[in-house]
Amino acid sequence: MAITAIFILLFWNTIKENTAGQLLLIRLLFAAIIGGLYWWNRYSNWHVISVLRKIIPLGFIIHFYPETYYLNNVIFTEYLDPVFISLDQTIFCTQPSTIFSEALPYAWFNELMNFAYCTYFFTIAGIIFYLLFRNKDAAFRAAFIMLCSFFMYYILFIILPVAGPQFYVFDHDSALPVLGPMRKLLLFFHAMGEQPTGAVPSSHIGIMTIYMTLLWQNGRKLFWWILPISFLLMLSTVYIRAHYAIDVLLGFATAPIIFLFSNWCWKKLNYFNRCK
């Protein structure tokens, strides 16, 4: 929040839709929530607060993702989608984000892909609750690593303005036909905060790789249950035209780096805490 606050102050007049002041106020609000939970936990013996203050900040990702849209026009004033469309054409000799859904237009497959995409945030929440009942330290570490990783991806989204095929190539609401309730549910989620931002690299793939790594370390049984859904999620990012195929590859490529950095931050912060 501090890094992006400095960014907002430096480029105040170029933030989209004159939202700079609003974005700063939201940061103050979130800082107040974090500070309030910290002090409440410090002077209270209520164990629930100790848990909530370590988990609740993960919910901030719901706000900060669409916010990248308002900040991503400073370094590059134009969207970089043509670059990644060209890369897809060079690597795959076609446009996977276009032909995948055209090759499999069946209602049942459309619904399966939309279902897989919708499972993303539910899976993240489910993993945290699963770990809370097994190993609280592992749950808190997972929450921190995923939150830190999300923020690293959001910084990349601010640097690289890429709308994704559903916005840049197609009309967003009609990128795929509405053939069932899963598509309607996904469009409902999109209406709550989806913006032409965040396509490169795919944070869905990056975070999926990171939470599967965390499960491999601390929840091997759940790992095998979620693995098929993760595979479908990978396919769905291209099928529903949210990402170019190159975004998926970049999501996998960046995940180990971001995971190692986030885990390093976790270790350092815990070291400083023990020193106190």
Q: Using alpha carbons, select from 171, 255, 159, 230 the residue that is nearest to residue 199.
A: 159
Provide the whole-model pTM: 0.94
What stretches of the chain show up as alpha helix (H) in DSSP? Answer: 2-10, 20-42, 47-55, 61-71, 81-92, 96-103, 107-134, 136-159, 165-168, 181-191, 203-218, 220-239, 245-275
> Does position 274 have pLDDT exceeding 90, yes or no?
no
pLDDT digits (tens, 9 = 90+) for 121-166: 999 999 999 999 999 999 999 999 999 999 999 999 999 999 999 9
Q: Could you tell me if 124 and 62 are in contact, meaning their C-beta atoms sit under 8 angstroms apart?
A: no
Query: How many CB atoms sit inside 10 A of residue 16's CB?
Result: 13
- Apex 15 CA angle, 9 and 20, nearest 5: 55
Domain ranges of the chain: 74-275
Q: Could you tell me if 183 and 114 are in contact, meaning their C-beta atoms sit under 8 angstroms apart?
A: yes
pLDDT digits (tens, 9 = 90+) for 83-132: 999 999 999 999 999 999 999 999 999 999 999 999 999 999 999 999 99
As a whole number of angstroms, the distance between CA 24 and CA 6 comes to 10
% pLDDT > 90, the chain: 84
